[in-house]
Structures are given as C-alpha cells and as structure tokens.
Amino acid sequence: MTSGILNVNKPAGPSSFGVVRSVRRLPGVLKAGHGGTLDPAADGVLPILVNLATRLADFIHEWPKTYLASVTFGITSDTGDREGSLVPSGDVSRVSRDRIEALLPSFTGSIAQVPPLYSALKQGGEALYRKARRGEVVERRPRLVEIHAISLVDYDPTTATGRLEVSSGRGMYVRSLAHDLGAALGCGAYLSGLTRTAVGPMTLADAVAMATLTEAGETWTRWLLPMDLPLRGWPVIALDAAGAAAIRRGQTVDAPSAASGRCRVLDADGHLLAWGEVDINRRLQPRAVFPS
C-alpha cells in the first residue's frame, strides 16, 4: 500500500475536507485525512496524510504553523473573516503601524483566546458553526494557545489593512487574533485574507496544486513525502528479526537502556515498523504498527 504525506497548496474556496475528498479519488488511495484545518476562505499549505500515514495525524498537529494574515481594521465580521456579514465598527484614523507594532508583544507567548463562533471546534460533540447557524447562544470559553512570533509586514492606511506574519502552535485561530487586535485598538477588525505559508518542514514554495495531482493520474505519488516525516528527530530503536516480529504482534519488547519516551521503531532492514513509547519498566510499547 502506498502511504505518505502530501504537501497540498489549497486554494481559497474549497474546504479542507473537500481537498481530502479529492485526494481520496486518486488511484491507490484508500484513506486520507488532513493535518490541520484551513478555512474555506484561506489558502496555502494543507498536509494530507495518505493511507497508513493517517495514523500519524496527531504529530502533524504538533508542528508549528506560519501564516501571512491580512487584517482590516474598522470593520467586524460575524464569522471573523470575509465570509461573514461585514459591519463598520470604529474610527481607524488613529490606527498606525507604530500602534499596531506596540501591541504585538502582548499577543505572543501563551495567551488566552476565545475561539470563533463559526468554527469546527466541537462542543457537546457538535461543531460550533452548526449551533451558530441554528441561532443557539453558545458559551465559548477562552483556551490557552501559543503564538511563537508575530510581526507586522506592512500597513496600508488607505485601506486600514495590515499584513501580519504569525507563527503559532496548534489550536490558534488567526480570526480570533484579528478580532482581539482590533478590540485592543478600539476600532474592531476582521481577517480579510489568510495564507498558510508553512506547516513544520512543509512550505508553500514546495506545495503542489490539487489540479496538478489530479492531472498526474497514476504518477501523483511523485509528490508523496515519507510517512515517517513527523517522527524525524525522535529517538530510534532498531530491532532484530525476533524483536520486530514481536512488535508486529503488538507485544512489548525490552528497550535499550538509553531509550525513553516516544520512539521511531525500525526493523532489521531499516524500514519504519512502528512508533512506540518506552515505559517505566524499560519496555517498548508499540502504539501504531505499520505493515511492511
């Protein structure tokens, strides 16, 4: 079974799941999932995990993400982006590059952020946007998110729009960041454009268009990245034939004395066999085994 990760350049318009459905129609694809939702209005890097690689989705989510965000001040949106109803919300005459830059340090590090009402975040087993569309009043509690770095690329006073480069951890909503920045400036704001330029080692410069994959037919696999890419940098445990056979059966094996925590497990030929964790008894516990 052909397995790996695709670095897809998602266009604005389709949902992330729409891109996944297109990948599922490629020859030889039995399963596919994405490594971090991009809103329909956003474009850029969308990791797609194919076949056995879907078991590694959690580790894709751990990668930092980088965005180029356009934030327009003086207007708010009920969805937080240009997909919603836009309403004038304040005077932008005092908004300036200096004022924006002065506020950015307060939005770095570990910050509390309220997720957008129109989001795929689930509450009570149902996505918030479904509740919002029914007109339900939903209490959204702030969540801690991590913003590693944020900088103002430029600011155009004629349109009251700034472009921000933002690097963050999982679960951060750029729409919420735009809203909160507008609130801090006292004029409101919404996310008028968003491009994800990187997810971990995957960059926009190396991303492939969905149309290119579709037109490639059987040769689409030329853009497939190694399945173990999210595990690179982990400690490696290489097993002999007997140890590999035990892991394939889901059994534990003795771990090398230096091993700890999560590990990439290889068979005697150096192929990815599994990922696992070393427990306090120095036993390697397989968490996901990949058939050869």
Residues 6 or more apart whose Cβ sits within 8 Å of residue 181: 71, 100, 103, 107, 189
186 shares a domain with 69 = yes
Reply yes or no on whether the pLDDT at 128 is more than 60: no
Specify the pLDDT at position 1: 76
213 shares a domain with 119 = no
Q: Pick the last residue of a domain from 189, 212, 227.
A: 227
Residue 104: domain span: 65-199
Hey, what are 185's tokens?
């400036």
The structure's pTM equals 0.91
- CATH number for the domain that contains residue 175: 3.30.2350.10
Q: Distance of CA 105 to CAs 114, 145, 148, 150, Å?
A: 18, 15, 11, 8
Catalytic residue among 39, 43, 81, 228: 39
Q: Pick the last residue of a domain from 210, 227, 244.
A: 227
Q: Is 265 exposed, middle or buried (0-12, 13-18, 19+ CB in 10 A)?
A: buried
What is the C-alpha separation between 247 and 80, in angstroms, rounded?
47
DSSP state of 235: -
Specify the pLDDT at position 136: 56
Q: Is 269 marked active-site? A: no
Residues forming beta bridges with residue 44, ordered by sequence position = 10, 196
219 shares a domain with 163 = no
More confident residue, 89 or 137: 89
Q: Number of structural domains, the chain?
A: 3
Specify the pLDDT at position 141: 81
Specify the pLDDT at position 201: 97
pLDDT in tens, 187-211: 999 999 999 999 999 999 999 999 9
pLDDT in tens, 234-245: 999 999 999 999
What is the C-alpha separation between 61 and 228, in angstroms, rounded?
14
DSSP state of 81: B
192 shares a domain with 95 = yes
3-state secondary structure of 128: helix
Hey, what are 148's tokens?
């590693």
Average confidence (pLDDT) over 8-15: 95
What is the C-alpha separation between 146 and 173, in angstroms, rounded?
11
120 shares a domain with 240 = no
